[in-house]
Structure 1
């Protein structure tokens, strides 16, 4: 941090420019740090809320909207109050109070989510709005102090505005590329709270000494201690998820990978052929119907999780080679360290986005492509479009099969749109799903017909109670749903509300 220039309280005429404020470097540091802090809070808030609200477009929109409201409110109120009160009295409290709120945020949000869920949106909004507004008020306050002459108004305002924007950029990049990958979100916010309270103490000490600093320090310490006992903490925080591995009390080797509160994978460390989740049993059934028993396959998996199905293929079809694109390196690490993935199991993992992974595959190089990538309960939109499915068709050989797991409820608007999308690309499409509407389901697509009778027998044999819909019945079910494209794929908006405990 650049040195902070000492300043003193100097009486000024009411209509005269103020003097005795922070020097140019001190002013730049204050504006830079406060603007960066606003963006850190915004990005980390998304991480904190994902286990409870899902990592959806709606959640992101809400957080961004509240953050922008805080910036607008803080800028307006900060400037207005600075015209009515000596602005030198405002800097320390703005930094200190925002630091205290930021440090308490992890404990407050997690406790609210577990014990008072209906209040979560309100409390989440306040934990973004209050520190965001206080920190955004710093720029107009500092600007007021730096305006020693009306002749340099444009220069001062432009310089500090630019510094604030640069701070916001640095806060965004630092959080997204460095902090989140190395620190838990609670640690980021508590650390930020400490920095803000320390900045408040320094500002007030430079001015006149402030007795409120010890009290705010105690609040920050309390926030850190509360975070250690607050409910909902993660075993591991990855780049994208709050992750936990839960032991199955009924099976010694059973492990469930839970990401953001949702069950994503079940793995039996002792028996990779054991498939607990219904959709994975259905996936195994349709694969067995589509390819000769025991035949080795060349498979590609969009999304990895605990790698339940790649393990199953390796165990039941010796010689199978599976390539997996998993975007979250933390999930890959958990799978290797806690879910018993041994090297040389015929499974290769690339930490990459699935759409980019598709582009790297040779034409006609895969017998089977499995779509099982999720952000919450939503398939990432760019893996659902006609353009993405065209790439899937390209990498499949002439007898290849694409099987996609998805989740939908209610009117199944997303499922119908995705089925319409597949009919634009493949000759044969089928829906495999439960007899009751809602939950997990599979969409199958190929350029050769699948033996539906064999597939249904395999589904029944695995106890899925799922049925197959294809042909005219599928077209009728799609009922005019629009195919999804890179230009228009409103996946999050098409999905119906869900109950996390019932999904997967």
Structure 2
């Protein structure tokens, strides 16, 4: 009995996609553009938000970690909810509202952060998390929902699922990379954060409205036309961002690294206070460059005054420029001094020229760049004095606090020269102890200048570490401190300093947990 051979399915030729799926799918170019935009917008928002919250809670490792963590949480929850909705509803009517709402929430970020920031000002962990969540979470979650909605529309054949998901995931990653590099290298340098946020909000809102119109025309009567209420909501949301015009703005000028302002001293018509990220940073008397307002600058001045005969010019290197207070002081008290200032923020250099009487010339050379990199280019034994006064908000950048950095400073200092480093710390004083131990690992002679109450651990304060390869003029320095300082000050050295440092760690490039050491609990 003959039997016909069994039919063999042709698995090499995929069946035609169902007509319903084909009709619902987005054009590949549009799908890619939407995923690229949504993913990139999250990273623009993340980068800009770090600058928005900085004036209120600082720019520390905890703040950066909070911004990244909140953004990742928003992406996770947004993608989850977007995928859940995509399996239960037609994704097409959801795409345009998601973009429009993301634009509205992005625009409202400005007034929300600026009003809430005044309440949450400070570096408390709860305040940091709350402020970053207000800045990022909702718009980032809405944007993260776009990708699973688009993916769902493009899945017409199970045998192409990996290809579709992999392609769109790759495009989303490329969008995030492009936005990160573009924001960090271009947008932040070209425009203030307000313009970046408003521009992003407008782009998202307009894209959402245009997408709604396009999808309606493509689908005909099967997809509702974007309502006037949707358009009105978009306009209302963008208008809500105008609240930022009356919200308290801590910035006069926004540089690549700081929210900066120069405030006049009400008690001195020629006094100017440089404020960076809402923290007092430098004081300059335009009429009297020898005037030192802050106590730690008086300690710097005392170190400079005793290290060589009065009036003798020096070769001085300044790690951090700020308001250029100390270069002006050295030029006035020691004519002919050659000051070389390493300032990472070119905007501060320009601000100093415009408003703080900074005059580059033979006695003042300002180099824009990272102090660690620039000091490495300086010849051996080419400086008499190195002044360390570089801060990210209220924290010494970790790579300027290590033993390797101290070794670079020692390399450029001439025999008998000095290194004076400003440090801010709070009880229980873990960072200043570690930093003294670090400097002492490279310099054989070290002393510490600080208020007595701070050394006792009862308050936070500025500390100035003084180091040299030769014996320090301790008695002359002690007398100069008494003469110049307005508040009680202690010069700690020898066994007393050893007892203060105790068994504190030496910070290295391999391990320098500066932010953790500064934590007050």
Larger mean CA deviation between 27-36 and 468-477 belongs to: 468-477
Name 2:516's counterpart in structure 1.
Answer: 493
Of 21, 28, 34, 1:24 maps to: 28
How far apart are 1:222 and its partner, in Å?
2.3
Name 1:448's counterpart in structure 2.
Answer: 470
Name 1:218's counterpart in structure 2.
Answer: 236
Measured in 1, the distance between the counterparts of 2:80 and 2:135 equals 19
Name 1:160's counterpart in structure 2.
Answer: 168
How far apart are 1:207 and its partner, in Å?
2.0
Measured in 1, the distance between the counterparts of 2:303 and 2:396 equals 21
Question: Does structure 1 retain, via aligned residues, the 8 Å contact 2:66–2:129?
Answer: no
Match runs of 1:332-371 below 5 Å: 332-344=349-361, 346-371=363-388
CA, structure 1 residues 442+116, in 2 after alignment: closer, same or farther (shift >3 Å)?
A: closer
How far apart are 1:345 and its partner, in Å?
6.2
Name 1:8's counterpart in structure 2.
Answer: none
Match runs of 1:286-297 below 5 Å: 286-297=303-314
How far apart are 1:441 and its partner, in Å?
1.1
Measured in 2, the distance between the counterparts of 1:193 and 1:105 equals 10
Measured in 1, the distance between the counterparts of 2:129 and 2:382 equals 47
SS in 2 for 1:266: strand
Question: Does structure 2 retain, via aligned residues, the 8 Å contact 1:18–1:145?
Answer: no
Of 475, 485, 493, 2:498 maps to: 475
Match runs of 1:118-157 below 5 Å: 121-157=129-165
Measured in 2, the distance between the counterparts of 1:463 and 1:363 equals 33
Measured in 1, the distance between the counterparts of 2:194 and 2:82 equals 28
CA, structure 1 residues 330+172, in 2 after alignment: closer, same or farther (shift >3 Å)?
A: same
Name 1:78's counterpart in structure 2.
Answer: 82
Measured in 1, the distance between the counterparts of 2:140 and 2:47 equals 12
Which string of whole-angstrom CA distances, capped at 9 and with x for unpartnered residues, describes residues 346-374 of structure 1? 11000000000111100000000000000
Name 1:7's counterpart in structure 2.
Answer: none
The structure 1 segments of at least 4 consecutive aligned residues displaced by more than 3 Å after TM superposition are 16-19, 115-121
Name 1:422's counterpart in structure 2.
Answer: 439
How far apart are 1:116 and its partner, in Å?
5.9
Name 2:100's counterpart in structure 1.
Answer: 96
How far apart are 1:492 and its partner, in Å?
0.7
Which string of whole-angstrom CA distances, capped at 9 and with x for unpartnered residues, describes residues 101-121 of structure 1? 101101111111224658674
Name 2:480's counterpart in structure 1.
Answer: 458
Question: Does structure 2 retain, via aligned residues, the 8 Å contact 1:74–1:132?
Answer: yes
Name 1:62's counterpart in structure 2.
Answer: 66
Name 2:507's counterpart in structure 1.
Answer: 484
Question: Does structure 2 retain, via aligned residues, the 8 Å contact 1:113–1:120?
Answer: no
Match runs of 1:366-381 below 5 Å: 366-381=383-398
How far apart are 1:81 and its partner, in Å?
0.9
Measured in 2, the distance between the counterparts of 1:220 and 1:297 equals 56
Name 1:198's counterpart in structure 2.
Answer: 206
Q: How many residues align?
A: 484
SS in 1 for 2:453: coil
- In structure 2, runs of 5+ residues without a counterpart are 1-17, 217-224, 455-459
How far apart are 1:497 and its partner, in Å?
4.6
TM-score, normalised relative to structure 1 = 0.94
SS in 2 for 1:253: strand
Of 298, 302, 309, 2:326 maps to: 309
SS in 1 for 2:268: coil
- In structure 1, runs of 5+ residues without a counterpart are 1-11, 499-504
CA, structure 1 residues 479+116, in 2 after alignment: closer, same or farther (shift >3 Å)?
A: closer
CA, structure 1 residues 71+337, in 2 after alignment: closer, same or farther (shift >3 Å)?
A: same
Name 1:172's counterpart in structure 2.
Answer: 180
Larger mean CA deviation between 126-135 and 404-413 belongs to: 126-135
Name 1:235's counterpart in structure 2.
Answer: 252
Larger mean CA deviation between 178-187 and 300-309 belongs to: 178-187
Output the aligned Cα RMSD. 1.5
Name 1:389's counterpart in structure 2.
Answer: 406
Measured in 1, the distance between the counterparts of 2:158 and 2:305 equals 79
Measured in 1, the distance between the counterparts of 2:172 and 2:100 equals 19
Of 39, 53, 67, 2:57 maps to: 53
Residue 400 (str. 1) matches residue 423 (str. 2): no
Of 178, 185, 190, 2:193 maps to: 185
SS in 1 for 2:37: helix
Measured in 2, the distance between the counterparts of 1:440 and 1:175 equals 34
Which string of whole-angstrom CA distances, capped at 9 and with x for unpartnered residues, describes residues 77-120 of structure 1? 11111000111011011101110010110111111122465867
Name 1:330's counterpart in structure 2.
Answer: 347
Which string of whole-angstrom CA distances, capped at 9 and with x for unpartnered residues, describes residues 199-218 of structure 1? 11011111223120232122
Name 2:269's counterpart in structure 1.
Answer: 252
How far apart are 1:155 and its partner, in Å?
1.2
Which string of whole-angstrom CA distances, capped at 9 and with x for unpartnered residues, describes residues 373-401 of structure 1? 00011000000101010010000011110
Measured in 1, the distance between the counterparts of 2:61 and 2:485 equals 35
Measured in 2, the distance between the counterparts of 1:430 and 1:413 equals 17
Measured in 2, the distance between the counterparts of 1:418 and 1:88 equals 58
Which string of whole-angstrom CA distances, capped at 9 and with x for unpartnered residues, describes residues 280-337 of structure 1? 0111012212221111000000000010000000000000000000000111110011
Question: Does structure 2 retain, via aligned residues, the 8 Å contact 1:76–1:137?
Answer: yes
